[in-house]
Amino acid sequence: MTSIDVHHLTKEYGTRRVVDHLTFRVRPGRVTGFLGPNGAGKSTTLRLVLGLDRPTAGYATVGGRPYVTLREPLSHVGALLDAQAAHGSRTGRDHLRVLAATHRIPDRRVEEVLGETGLSSVAGRRVKTYSLGMRQRLGIAAALLGDPEVLMLDEPSNGLDPEGIVWIRQLLRRLAGEGRTVLVSSHLMNETASFAEHLVVLGRGRLLADTSMRDFIHARVQPRVRVRTTDPTALKSALARHGHDAVQHEDGHWIVQHAHVDDIGRLASAAGVPLLELTAHEGTLEQAYLDLTSAEAEFAAQSKEA
């Protein structure tokens, strides 16, 4: 089993602690979204896992071993940290060939990953002529080159057009479906919700959540139910009898707060209320994330005042 494990990982720059006793495990077979406000410490954590920076305390391992001790690292871990990292005067193909040659990766992988990332037709062009989205695809191609079991991608959707966004979503799901460990940082909540099953959330260097997407949302955002009826009086009194509050909106639909669609459906049916519409309004990742991070910001403000 190839997990990423982070144990009491701590990083200080001067007197600033930017990663603060972080402990979590990223498991294979699912995409884990890595979230947190700007400056929360996500990139620093990824750099520490990849041995690009030394922790002040704690440690991180990949498949039980520190990254720097892996003999053929690109065949274990593929990473996208900075899509601008490729040499501008090389062609995309040459960039990948150099990487393959220096990491004992067979040359045939170059054409495979060019095809997989949709870059085959531009592979002979110099990287400096690439758009942001093409550079992003090249960075992802480099991460996939060694056919690694573990992928760590920092903002992979950056600069991708709508077609690219759909592509990366499918790619991430497929990689996880193949049993790989996939950790993806992002600021795009709708995007993250579309591919991640699990979440690790940081705030000011600390772990705020390590939980399934579903539990994360359900713990923070109450479900609501949207109802339309030809008999609002009967609906309102049936809801009131069961302790539900409903608010009527302009076009005549009602929103029942803190309610599950099954319960409202059952009680409307039992009371003989004719329904034209009954829709579950589940919470979104964005709502849940903002709820968590605004509470964190409030805590920060309070502790400064105290």
Ligand X SMILES: Nc1ncnc2c1ncn2[C@@H]1O[C@H](COP(=O)(O)OP(=O)(O)OP(=O)(O)O)[C@@H](O)[C@H]1O
- Give the one residue of 10, 18, 231, 236 binding ligand X; rule: CB under 6 A: 18
**Which residues pair with residue 30 across a beta bridge?**
181
Is residue 300 a contact point for ligand X (CB under 6 A)? no
Give the range of 31-39, 61-69, 80-88, 213-221 binding ligand X by CB under 6 A. 31-39
Binding mask 33-72 for ligand X (x = CB under 6 A): ---x-xxxxxxx----------------------------
Is residue 124 a contact point for ligand X (CB under 6 A)? no
CA distance to 118, 156, 276, 300, per residue, from 26 (Å): 28, 18, 45, 27
Give the range of 32-40, 86-94, 243-251, 274-282 binding ligand X by CB under 6 A. 32-40
Distance CA 300, CA 296 (A): 6
Size of the residue set binding ligand X (CB under 6 A): 10
CB of residue 2 to ligand X, shortest distance in Å? 23
Distance CA 95, CA 115 (A): 15
Residues 159-198, interacting with ligand X (CB under 6 A): none
The conformation of residue 72, written as its DSSP 8-state character, comes to: S
- Specify whether the CB–CB gap between 259 and 223 falls below 8 A: yes
Supply the DSSP string of 217-259, one letter for each residue: HHHHS--EEEEEES-HHHHHHHHHHTT--EEE-TTS-EEETT-
Select 37 or 223, whichever has its Cβ closest to ligand X: 37
Structure-token pair, residue 11: 């990083």
CB of residue 305 to ligand X, shortest distance in Å? 22
Select 80 or 122, whichever has its Cβ closest to ligand X: 80
CB of residue 283 to ligand X, shortest distance in Å? 23
Select 42 or 198, whichever has its Cβ closest to ligand X: 42
Where helices occur in 81-229 by DSSP H, the ranges are: 92-102, 108-116, 132-144, 162-177, 189-195, 213-220
Contacting positions for ligand X (CB under 6 A)? 13, 18, 36, 38-44
